[in-house]
Each structure stands twice: as structure tokens, then as C-alpha cells.
């Protein structure tokens, strides 16, 4: 699974993409509202771990989760 943080603009907030090994989009959510998207993707129990990585990674870089 891969994670990508996308920088927003003045009117568009920052977003996070979670993708599988084939780069199929699993979840797409705002950085400040991850709960529903992570639960829907089956990662509700790993929310704390995912959000810790989201804070650490730079914008525009794909990293393996």
C-alpha cells in the first residue's frame, strides 16, 4: 500500500491518497477528516498509524505504507 499527500491551495484543502500495490485508489480524504474514508477502506483500526505517517511525509512524494 502506498500513501501520497497532495498540497491544496487557498480554497482547496490538503488531501491524502491511499493506493494499493497496483496503484488503484483505495481512499482519498482530507487531512483533517480521515475517519470515514479510512473506515470505508477497512483501515479504521490503523487510523493512528496512517495519520502519523501523513504528518511525516512531504507533499507530492509517494511512500510505501
CB of 50 within 8 A of CB of 64? no
Joined together, the cell numbers standing for residue 58 give 512531504
- The pLDDT of residue 62: 92
Residues with pLDDT less than 50, the chain: none
d(C-alpha 64, C-alpha 27), whole Å: 15
3-state percent helix, strand, coil for the chain, nearest multiple of 5: 30, 30, 40
- Rounded to two decimals, the pTM is 0.82
d(C-alpha 37, C-alpha 54), whole Å: 14
Amino acid at each position: 500500500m502506498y500513501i501520497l499527500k497532495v498540497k491544496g491551495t487557498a480554497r482547496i484543502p490538503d488531501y491524502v491518497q491511499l493506493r494499493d500495490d497496483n496503484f488503484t485508489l483505495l481512499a482519498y480524504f482530507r487531512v483533517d477528516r480521515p475517519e470515514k474514508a479510512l473506515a470505508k477502506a477497512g483501515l479504521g483500526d490503523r487510523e493512528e498509524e496512517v495519520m502519523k505517517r501523513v504528518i511525516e511525509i512531504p507533499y507530492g512524494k509517494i511512500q510505501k505504507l
